[in-house]
Amino acid sequence: MTVDDTVASTDLQNPADALEFLVHVAERDSGSNTNQLPPMHSSVYARSPTRANTAPIDAHRRTIQPTHNNMIDYPPLNKGQLSMEMIRALLYRYEDKYHPYFPLANPAAMDPNNLPTIAAKEPHLLAAILTVASKDEKDWWQVHDDCSTHMQSLVASLVYTGSAAVEAVEAMLILAEWVPRRPHSTPSIGRGEEDQAAWMYVGTAIRLGYLLGIDRTGFRAESEAQTADLNRKRLAWASCYMSDRQISVRIGKAFWSRGPGPMTTLRAEDFPSLRPRLHVNDNFAAIYQANLELTQLFSNAHDVLYATKSRSNQLNFGGEYVKYIDDFRVTLRHWNASWGHFTCSPPLKASLILSYEYLRLYVNAFAYQATLNRLSNKMQEAVENGQTARAPAYPFADVAATPDARFIYDAIDAAKALLSTFCSFVDPQECFRFMPLRYYLYVIYSAVFLYKARSTGVMAGDARGSVKRLVGDTMENLQKSSACPNDVGERYSRLVKLLWRKPPGRAGSIAEPADIARPATAQAGGQGMPGPNGEPNPMDAAPPSINAFSWLDLGAVGDFAVENNNSVSGSMMDNLDRFEDSSVDGFSQFDPSLILSPQQFSWNGLPQSGIIF
C-alpha cells in the first residue's frame, strides 16, 4: 500500500484534527469538491468589464444587466423590503465609501454581477456589506433596519450552529468596524457604548477563525503554495489580530487572538488581493502593512506600559518607563520615516496620520499620568503624616522643570496634531462620516487628554486659548459628520462640550487635600463645614478631581462631565450649542464644589484592581 504525502504529513494532535482528516479523505475519494469556495479572482466571481476603468459609478450602474429576484437568496429582497437597484447602489456605495478604510471584504462580493453566487455562498458577508452601506444616510435608514434585522438572525444562527466559512469571519470584523445604528433610545452623550457590540463581533470572528484553523496562516510554512484561498484566510486572520488589539485596549479586556508568528513578518506581498486594480488607484496592500505595523507597536506599548494596574504603578514609581517610552519613540520615528511620505488618496493618508498621532499620544501620555500619580501619592502621604504643606495651584505650572518634560510636551503636541489633522484635512461629511469607529474615538481621547493637560497647568495662557478654539472646531466637525441629531458624532460632540464647559477647580485638579473644594457648602475662602462631631467632613480628604478619571475611560469621563449638570436632555442640550466662555483663557463658569474620588469610578465595570490608565 502506498501512503501519499498528505496522509504521511498529517499531524493529529486532537480529535478535531482527526475528524478534519477523515473529511478530507472522504472528499478526495469521492472526487467531490462542491463545498469549496471558488477563489477570489476565479471566473465564478468575474468582475464586470465596465469596472476596468475609472468612469463614474453611475455610468457603471447603467451597464449592469438586471437579475431576477428569484435568483438571489437574500430574504429582505425576497420580502420586497429593497429592490435589486437598491442592492446595486449599496454595493457600489460600500466599495466607494467604506471599503478603502478596511479592505477586508472579498472584492467579488462588491460586484453586482456576482450576486447570485455571493448570496448563496457568502450570505454573512453580503448582509454585513449591505447593513453597513445603509447606515449613514437618512434615506436608507428603513433599508438599514431591514438589513440589520436580517443580519441579527444570521449572527444568531452563526453562534447557535458554530458552523461557517471565512466569509463569516470577514462579516463579523466589518460589523465591528462600523457597528450598526443603535436604537433611538441611545443616550444623548457618547460613553463608548458602540465598543461593547464591537467587542462581541470581534470575539465571534476570532472564535470562528480558530474553528476554521485560519490562525495557522500566521505561521509561514517552508513550502506553501500561494493560493487565493490561503491568501484570503491570511488576510482575515491578520484583520482579526488588528481588530482584537484595537478593541481590547479600548475597553480594557484581555487579547483573544495570536498575532503573526515570531518568525513571520507579514508584508504587502502577503496580501495579493489588496494590490492595485484597474479601477482602484490606492495600494491597499501597502496601507494595510502600514496599519499592521502600527497595530504591532500599539500592542507592544500596551503590554509594556498599560497591561495591568500593578504593572503601571510599578513603572510610575520606579521610573523604568523612561527607557521604554524612549524606545517606542525611536520606533515611531522609524515608522514615520518609512510611511510618512507614502502617496495615497487624501482620506487614506489622513487615516494613517490620525493613527500615528494617536499612538504617539498613547505612548507619551503615560509619563504625564505617571507624574500626576506621583504628585497625588505625595499629597496622600502628607495627609497621612499630618503635614499641611500646600500643593502648587497647577501641578505642571513649571512643566519644563519636570523630569518627564519631553514626554509631556510630545503628548500635548500629538493630541493637538491629531485634532488639527481632523479639522483641516478630513471632510466631516464626505470622509469622516464613513471612517471606522476607532477614528472617532481617537479624536475624543485627544480632546479629553487636552482637557486634563490644560486643567493641570501644562499649557500657557496663549496656548490654552488656541487649544480651546481647536476643540471648538473639533466639536463643530463632529456635528457635521453626523447624519442625525443623535448620531455617533453628535453624541461625542456633546460629551466634549459638557467636559470643556467645566473649568478646572480653583486650585487646579491637584490641590492640598485640606483645601479641596467641598460640596455646596464650600465658601470662597476654601473652608468646608465641619461634620456632626466638629470633625472635618470626610470629603475634605477626597482625592483630587482631575485624577478621578482616565482620559481613556469614556464612561468615567461622561460621569465627570455630567456630574455638575443636572440633566443632559431638553433645553440644556440645546444650550450646549453655545460654546461661549466668560474668561480670557477659555474657562466658563461651573460649580467649583465638584469633587470626584477615583473610587467612585470603575473602568467599564472593572474593579479598581483592574487595568487603569
Report H helices in 426-533: 437-455, 461-480, 488-500
> What is the 3-class SS of 470-501, one letter each residue?
HHHHHHHHHHHCCCCCCCHHHHHHHHHHHHHC
298 lies in a domain? no
For the stretch 261-295, pLDDT in tens is 665 678 888 899 998 877 778 999 999 999 999 99
439 closest CA partner among 422, 417, 424: 422
Residues contacting residue 247 through CB under 8 Å, at least 6 positions apart: 176, 195, 198, 199, 202, 253
One domain, residues 247 and 272: yes
Distances (CA, A) of 441 to 177, 419, 499, 611: 12, 12, 15, 19
139 lies in a domain? yes
311 or 353, which is more confident: 353
C-alpha–C-alpha distance, residues 564 and 148, integer Å? 37
- Chain center to CA of 287: 17
19 lies in a domain? yes
One domain, residues 270 and 331: no
Quick check: helix, strand or coil at residue 536?
Answer: strand
One domain, residues 407 and 437: yes
For the stretch 136-176, pLDDT in tens is 988 898 999 999 999 999 999 999 998 889 999 999 999 99
| Across 85-96, average pLDDT | 96
Number of domains in the chain: 3
What range does the domain containing 528 cover? 308-600
pLDDT at res. 255: 86
One domain, residues 378 and 484: yes
One domain, residues 425 and 573: yes
609 lies in a domain? no
For residue 82, pLDDT over 80 is answered with yes
One domain, residues 415 and 282: no
Q: Sign (positive/negative) of CA torsion 492, 496, 501, 507? A: positive
293 lies in a domain? no
One domain, residues 164 and 227: yes
462 lies in a domain? yes
One domain, residues 553 and 405: yes
Give the CA diameter of the chain: 97
Task: Please provide the average confidence, as pLDDT, over all residues in the chain.
Answer: 76
One domain, residues 40 and 21: no
One domain, residues 320 and 210: no
Query: How many Å is the Cα radius of gyration of the chain?
Result: 27
Confidence of residue 590 (pLDDT cuts 50, 70, 90): very low
One domain, residues 281 and 405: no
**% of the chain exceeding 90 in pLDDT:** 44
One domain, residues 207 and 277: yes
Cell numbers found for residue 325: 517610552
276 lies in a domain? yes
